[in-house]
């Protein structure tokens, strides 16, 4: 279960949404809550991108020792792979923001039921309810062997 906390804990100042009794699912307050989480998360990722660019410009050196050069190239390669994963995550955040704008956010793309506030807080970019996601993972395991 540690993965569930990962997404929300990446956002600084995150406060869980407290639903009021009888409150309609995915009302304007809830959508705004998730919009703010996603915007903050995206801003943090963009800061990381900027830091990487600065780091690579500042630390790029032509070391005379081949081992030092190889170490630096490996470090840059790892950093670029991480940034590529974050770039994909930024795209996913943008598409999630589009779902909010289209009033489709918070509903499972496979079966149409509510995903749930707690699941969305744990993984704001989730597009499937826990049952459909679990079935997908089981199918994937079976196909992969």
Per-residue pLDDT tens over the stretch 27-63: 999 999 999 999 999 999 999 988 888 877 777 777 8
**Torsion sign, CA atoms 77, 81, 86, 90:** positive
Q: What global pTM score does this model have?
A: 0.81
Distance, CA of 120 to CA of 29 (rounded, Å): 14
Is pLDDT of 114 > 90? Answer: yes
CATH superfamily placement of domain 2-9+25-144: DksA, coiled-coil domain (1.20.120.910)
Domain ranges of the chain: 2-9+25-144
CA distances from 5 to 25, 36, 57, 121 (A): 22, 17, 34, 8
Provide the sign of the torsion angle of the four alpha carbons 93, 102, 4, 38, taken in this order.
positive
The tens digit of pLDDT for each residue in 64-98 reads: 888 988 888 898 899 999 999 999 999 999 999 99
């Amino acid at each position: 279960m540690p993965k569930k906390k990962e997404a929300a804990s990446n956002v600084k100042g995150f406060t869980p949404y407290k639903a009021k009794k009888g409150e309609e699912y995915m009302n304007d307050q809830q959508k705004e809550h998730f919009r703010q989480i996603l915007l903050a998360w995206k801003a943090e990722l963009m800061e990381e991108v900027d830091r990487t660019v600065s780091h690579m410009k500042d630390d790029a050196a032509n070391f005379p020792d081949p081992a030092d050069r190889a170490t630096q190239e490996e470090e840059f390669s790892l950093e670029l792979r991480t940034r590529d994963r974050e770039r994909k995550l930024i795209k996913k955040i943008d598409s999630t923001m589009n779902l909010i704008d289209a009033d489709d956010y918070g509903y499972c793309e496979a079966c149409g039921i509510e995903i749930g506030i707690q699941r969305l807080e744990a993984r704001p970019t989730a597009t499937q309810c826990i049952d459909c996601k679990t079935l997908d993972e089981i199918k994937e395991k079976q196909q992969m062997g």
